[in-house]
Amino acid sequence: MIEDARVLRAGFVPREVEHRDPEVNHLSSVLEPITRGEPADTALLTGPSGAGKTCIAKFTVDRLRQRHLDVEYQYVNCWQNHSHYRAAYRVLEGLGRTVDIHRQSTPRDELTERLRDYAGSPVVVVLDEVDQLDDKRLLYDLHAMPQFSMVLIANREEELFAGMDERVTSRLTGGERIRFDRYALDELVSILEARARWGLEPDAIHRAELERIADAAAGDARVAISVLRTAARHARDDGADRITEENVSSAVPEARAEVHRKSLDSLTSHQRALYEVIEARGEVEPADLYAAYRERVDDPKSDRTVRNYLQKMAQYDLVVAEGTSRDRVYRLPERLAAV
């Protein structure tokens, strides 16, 4: 049934990519000066999740490194490393320059110095989910160092620049922008087809089922591959030699539920209380929500902290905040209709 589970995992970078030639070529040309020993412009990749931004960034840099020995590369996910310290540390880690920095109390400037002193091969730093970085000075610092070239990845450009001061934005607005759109249905199908070809036994899944998955994924390749993985696991557990319509049907909500459950697990009891209030009321105005929350917990946090929680929860897609001012209401996100 499953021949190579790796290709069904999130984060797998295929040897060939589909439907993204213009983006690959654009990014390659932006990075091209590095091969001549010159610093490249900063590239900014934007687009919805599952549109292939991370995959294309990794693929393109890999390809560049295959052709040119003297290019280093470091990938940093800013969602997981959102502080200045952690992100800078990760960059150094990729260069093997952290040997004697194990302690947590290294002054921040020392990390920056360490980066500045780096005199090896040019480095491409891919900063994924860069809008999550809470101190954007790292971008400014790296920009000023010619040995580093940056590929920034964010869902939306506006949100990225929202939290930056003038100094940083003026440097970055000159960079190259590469936009990604959601995959069309037939594009997703051929992506899934390729994964099935590499990862599953021949004939393990038929085109009708692939189309079904692509349809449910609504243009998001990450979701599509996750559904394929779940369906393949179901079929394997059944001892079947092929993924059935039934496997796909049950995999769609399960893959979605899994993401949701993981997010819920990561909430604190206060955040969970907020979630439960919103769940119970359906749609609730801020003042009511704050009051109901204060009723519900022993030692309530301030409204400001609650707003921080809600913002975080919105980023995890656990709640939706509608309206920007007095019209603000909170509700749970609408689940896509079952397939």
Partner DNA sequence: GCTCCACGGGAAGGATAGGCTT
Partner DNA sequence: AAGCCTATCCTTCCCGTGGAGC
**Residues at the site binding DNA, with contacts judged by CB under 7 A:** 82-86, 102-109, 162-163, 165, 268, 270, 285-287, 301-305, 307-308, 310-311, 321, 323-328, 330
Rounded to 10°, the helix 21-31/53-67 angle is 50
Minimum CB distance to DNA smaller for 73 or for 309: 309
Instruction: State how far the Cα of 318 lies from the Cα of 320, in Å rounded to an integer.
Output: 7
Minimum CB distance to DNA smaller for 6 or for 102: 102
Cα angle value 74/75/77 (rounded, 5°): 145
SS3 letters across 62-116 = HHHHHHCCCCEEEEEECCCCCCHHHHHHHHHHHCCCCCCCCCCCCCHHHHHHHHH
For the CB of residue 313, give the shortest distance to DNA in the complex, in Å: 11
CB 332 within 8 A of CB 319: yes
For the CB of residue 99, give the shortest distance to DNA in the complex, in Å: 12
Instruction: State how far the Cα of 274 lies from the Cα of 294, in Å rounded to an integer.
Output: 10
For the CB of residue 327, give the shortest distance to DNA in the complex, in Å: 4
Minimum CB distance to DNA smaller for 173 or for 311: 311
For the CB of residue 297, give the shortest distance to DNA in the complex, in Å: 11
Cα angle value 202/206/207 (rounded, 5°): 125
Instruction: State how far the Cα of 289 lies from the Cα of 306, in Å rounded to an integer.
Output: 10
Minimum CB distance to DNA smaller for 107 or for 202: 107
For the CB of residue 287, give the shortest distance to DNA in the complex, in Å: 3
For the CB of residue 128, give the shortest distance to DNA in the complex, in Å: 17
Contacts of 330 (CB under 8 A, 6+ apart): 278, 283, 284, 286, 289, 310, 319, 320, 321, 322
Minimum CB distance to DNA smaller for 1 or for 321: 321
Cα angle value 26/150/31 (rounded, 5°): 35
Minimum CB distance to DNA smaller for 240 or for 321: 321
For the CB of residue 108, give the shortest distance to DNA in the complex, in Å: 4
Instruction: State how far the Cα of 218 lies from the Cα of 336, in Å rounded to an integer.
Output: 10
CB 195 within 8 A of CB 205: no
Minimum CB distance to DNA smaller for 5 or for 291: 291
For the CB of residue 318, give the shortest distance to DNA in the complex, in Å: 15
CB 204 within 8 A of CB 10: no
Minimum CB distance to DNA smaller for 66 or for 104: 104
